[in-house]
Amino acid sequence: MEVYVNIAYLVSAVCFIYGLKMLSHPKTARNGNMIAAIGMLIAVLATTIPDALGNNPALSFQMIGIAMVIGSVIGAFFAIRVQMTQMPQLVAMFNGFGGGASAFVAASEFLKLKNTITGDSSFLVISIMLSLVIGTLTLTGSFIAFGKLQGLITTKPVTFPGQQILNALLAIGIIVTFFIIPASQNNLLYITVIVSALLGILLVIPIGGADMPVVISLLNSYSGIAAAMTGFVLYGAGQESAGSALIICGSLVGASGMILTQIMCKGMNRSLINVIFGAVGGDDGGSVNNEGKELNIKSYSTEEAAMIFDAAEKIIIVPGYGLAVAKAQHAVREVAELLEGKGKKVLYAIHPVAGRMPGHMNVLLAEANIPYEQLKDLDEINPEFEDCDVALVLGANDVVNPAARSDKGSPIYGMPILNVDKARTVMVNKRSMNAGFAGIQNELFGNDNTIMIFGDAKDMLTQLLSDLKEL
């Protein structure tokens, strides 16, 4: 029986790897997700069936059944109800539950094993501690991130004097606790959990709303690492094959979160250390900094814009999060379809940090039935601006600010941007002249080839659509 169980866990690990591999293309991605889900089902069955068939079942199936039903109902409820703009919150919340599950498993194993722990079990004890610490801080940190994204907690960085010293002390405290309290005492468990929970809160609370994409990517990685550590716990406790399954899957998730964290950091030209300890980036246009030279703004009407579009052949649309806030994705698609109907080429330029999490903008546009072939990432689209007639910037600001290329004094200097200023005409739609996330003015708006169309993105696009039809 044991051999079959081991093979089943191996098959489920292969399903996860293959499923993730199929995510390399939108055509195969949906089936890949399905295969990963089947892998999970296999893993659950491999854990429960042998016990049910055995002579003296140790699992309480009634209890497991109830827990599974409650969990499924809650999970399904959020998965079905969530709006695409709220995806970062949902992922943050799920990260938290993932980390929490690992921590609870580690705690349960601790209570079971504490009396059998000898000097020989240091690997096991360290695994339990790591699983508890990472799992717990993922749980509390994720819920702070959720609160910030949902607007329940201020998106501004919450800082106080000595914050980083306190964090360092807490981290040291965990290590000291581990060395001075013997593993046979419950106090070790309680103190570790409480301090880790506090640490999770304190690490996320000073991070501003604009940096949340990095934080949720990082917590995503942590939830995987926590699962891998729990795998070591199970392995050490004699559940070798179940342990390996957790280690393999946890590593995959940990690696995935790490890669996304790197991509987000690169997209903002920030180091991870700077994001975690920097405490910059407030909410939308919180502090407007209008220093520097006066910009020569040219404000156009949608009618005039429609005439420019009529003469254009190649158009690149640059959506920012402001577009999603205005719920204007469908309006964009209608305008784009009309232009394509007139034989024009339309592409979309997606900056890595255009949304509120990695790939968020792509999902928001896909929801509005915009075909994925038209969505181009930074490296792909930048050469295209050179021979582009109109670049239409919708609710984006910092990611198109040329100061990132040229102005060494700018806070966003060095950040990779979309080179919209290379286009023949740049049209920028904004509600007003407020500065962007980074609180800095954008010189692009004063360029000779830039025209501004003020107003709500949705109203503007609807108006533009009817003006285009009238031509």
Partner 1 sequence: MDYTTIITIFVLAIFIGFEIITKVPPTLHTPLMSGSNAISGIAIIGALLATKGTTVGMWLGFIAVMFAMINVVGGFLVTDRMLKMFKRK
**Mind telling me the catalytic residues?**
398
Q: Whole-angstrom Cα distance, residue 251 to residue 229?
A: 9
Q: How far is the CB of 402 from partner 1 (least distance, A)?
A: 23
Select from 124, 132, 133, 104 the least CA-distant residue to 240.
124
Q: Whole-angstrom Cα distance, residue 365 to residue 281?
A: 25
Interface residues for partner 1 in 321-350 (CB under 8 A)? Answer: 350
Interface residues for partner 1 in 234-253 (CB under 8 A)? Answer: 234-236, 239-240, 242-253
Position 87 contacts partner 1 (CB under 8 A): yes
Position 3 contacts partner 1 (CB under 8 A): no
- State the alpha helices, DSSP H only, in 54-121: 61-81, 87-113
Position 382 contacts partner 1 (CB under 8 A): no
Q: Which of 217, 329, 397, 441 binds partner 1 (CB under 8 A)?
A: 217
Rg, the chain, Cα only: 26
CB 155 within 8 A of CB 162: no
Select from 339, 324, 319, 302 the least CA-distant residue to 460.
302
Q: How far is the CB of 239 from partner 1 (least distance, A)?
A: 6
Measured CA to CA in angstroms, residue 160 lies from 170, 214, 422, 438 at distances of: 16, 22, 44, 21
Q: Which of 54, 75, 151, 383 binds partner 1 (CB under 8 A)?
A: 75
Position 309 contacts partner 1 (CB under 8 A): no
> Given the rule CB under 8 A, which of 200-208, 256-264, 269-277, 313-321 is the region that contacts partner 1?
256-264
Position 11 contacts partner 1 (CB under 8 A): no
Q: Which of 116, 159, 287, 369 binds partner 1 (CB under 8 A)?
A: 369
| HSE value, Cβ hemisphere, 13 Å, CA-based, for 450 | 22
Interface residues for partner 1 in 21-50 (CB under 8 A)? Answer: 21, 23-27, 29-30, 32-34, 36-37, 40, 43-44, 46-48
Q: Residues in contact with partner 1, total (CB under 8 A)?
A: 117
| HSE value, Cβ hemisphere, 13 Å, CA-based, for 365 | 28
Position 7 contacts partner 1 (CB under 8 A): no
Q: Which of 64, 117, 198, 433 binds partner 1 (CB under 8 A)?
A: 64
Position 383 contacts partner 1 (CB under 8 A): no
CB 264 within 8 A of CB 221: no
> Given the rule CB under 8 A, which of 163-171, 222-230, 289-297, 326-334 is the region that contacts partner 1?
222-230
Select from 443, 254, 418, 404 the least CA-distant residue to 352.
418
Q: Which of 68, 194, 307, 311 binds partner 1 (CB under 8 A)?
A: 68
Interface residues for partner 1 in 119-178 (CB under 8 A)? Answer: 120, 123
Interface residues for partner 1 in 415-454 (CB under 8 A)? Answer: none
Residue with tokens 């360290």: 126
Q: What is the pattern of x (binds partner 1, CB under 8 A) and - over residues 262-301?
A: -x--------------------------------------
Q: How far is the CB of 90 from partner 1 (least distance, A)?
A: 6
Q: Whole-angstrom Cα distance, residue 278 to residue 398?
A: 19
What is the amino acid identity at position 251? S
> Given the rule CB under 8 A, which of 11-19, 155-163, 309-317, 444-452 is the region that contacts partner 1?
11-19
Q: Whole-angstrom Cα distance, residue 326 to residue 49?
A: 51
Q: Which of 85, 105, 305, 452 binds partner 1 (CB under 8 A)?
A: 105
| Closer of 377 and 389 to partner 1 (Cβ) | 377
Measured CA to CA in angstroms, residue 318 lies from 88, 357, 394, 397 at distances of: 21, 17, 6, 10
Position 197 contacts partner 1 (CB under 8 A): no
> What is the H or E stretch that residue 376 is in?
strand 375-377
